[in-house]
Amino acid sequence: MHRDNDGPFGPLSLGGGSPSNRAGNRTRTDRTRRTWRLGIGGPVGSGKTALVAALCADLRSVVPLGVVTNDIYTTEDADTLRRLGVLDADRISAVQTGCCPHTAIRDDIGANLDAIEELEARIGPDSVILVESGGDNLTASFSYGLVDRQIFVLDVAGGDKVARKGGPGVTRSDLLVVNKVDLAPLVGADVTRMLADAQAVRDGRPVLATTVRSGVGVGGVVRWVLAEREDALR
């Protein structure tokens, strides 16, 4: 299923985002290759798992895929993805952080690295591994020791103030996804304003508006992922 409906807010970046200047390093110091890893973070309920499911549906025929989920006390997100059948069950691995979720993706990344390497051994070094963070507030961000690129997902239903509140996900993620645009009229949120506020603090990094639930804008996210991975392979 490929979605290329970019929706009323247009394709990919607003205001022309410059690509991230971090080189994708897929070679370890011992010269062995490793998977390309994409972090997906953001507040609880913003649509991270929905985005992971949509990316799997669109990318699984293009590239070998694996998913690592992070939940504090459960394996809820991995269970959801397995139930949806987006990938074979053994390509989805659950990390139970047991602590504040950003610790496991930023500070003490060992459990996530173990899960990634275990998947990588099974799927191969040419795969893409999506790492969903546990839901957190605006302070969470991934260590670049864990992922090569990161997406931060905001929820329009949280109000159009959220982009103005900033935090590392809003300002420095490689791609900011403003999701649940369909709910804007119901909560009185001004999406155009939200996108402009985000763009103003992102120094040219891209912002995308989506309604993941109906696939609107997901094609733009897929194109961004493929372009960033391609960049890393060069």
Ligand X SMILES: Nc1nc2c(ncn2[C@@H]2O[C@H](COP(=O)(O)OP(=O)(O)O)[C@@H](O)[C@H]2O)c(=O)[nH]1
Q: Which is nearer to ligand X, 116 or 191 (CB)?
A: 191
Write down the least CB distance from residue 52 to Mg ion, Å: 8
For helices 48-59 and 218-233, the axis angle rounded to 10 degrees is: 70
Distance of CA 66 to the CA centre of its chain: 13
* Residues 86/60, Cβ–Cβ less than 8 Å: yes
Write down the least CB distance from residue 41 to ligand X, Å: 9
β-sheet bridge partners, residue 33? 27
Q: Is 184 in the site for ligand X (CB under 6 A)?
A: no
Residue 182 binding result from Mg ion, ligand X, none, given CB thresholds of 5 to 8 Å by partner type: ligand X
Q: Which of 179, 195, 202, 221 binds ligand X (CB under 6 A)?
A: 179
Q: How far apart (Å, rounded) are the C-alpha atoms in residues 118 and 55?
A: 21
Q: Is 70 in the site for ligand X (CB under 6 A)?
A: no
Q: How far apart (Å, rounded) are the C-alpha atoms in residues 116 and 170?
A: 25
Q: Is 46 in the site for ligand X (CB under 6 A)?
A: yes
Q: Which is nearer to Mg ion, 48 or 180 (CB)?
A: 48
Q: How far apart (Å, rounded) are the C-alpha atoms in residues 177 and 152?
A: 6
Beta strands 149-155 and 175-179, pairing class: parallel
Q: Is 213 in the site for ligand X (CB under 6 A)?
A: yes
Q: Which of 36, 46, 47, 48 binds Mg ion (CB under 5 A)?
A: 48
Q: How far apart (Å, rounded) are the C-alpha atoms in residues 164 and 130?
A: 27
Q: Is 182 in the site for ligand X (CB under 6 A)?
A: yes
Q: Which residues contact Mg ion (rule: CB under 5 A)?
A: 48-49, 77
- Residues interacting with ligand X, by CB under 6 A? 42, 44-50, 135, 179-180, 182-183, 211-213
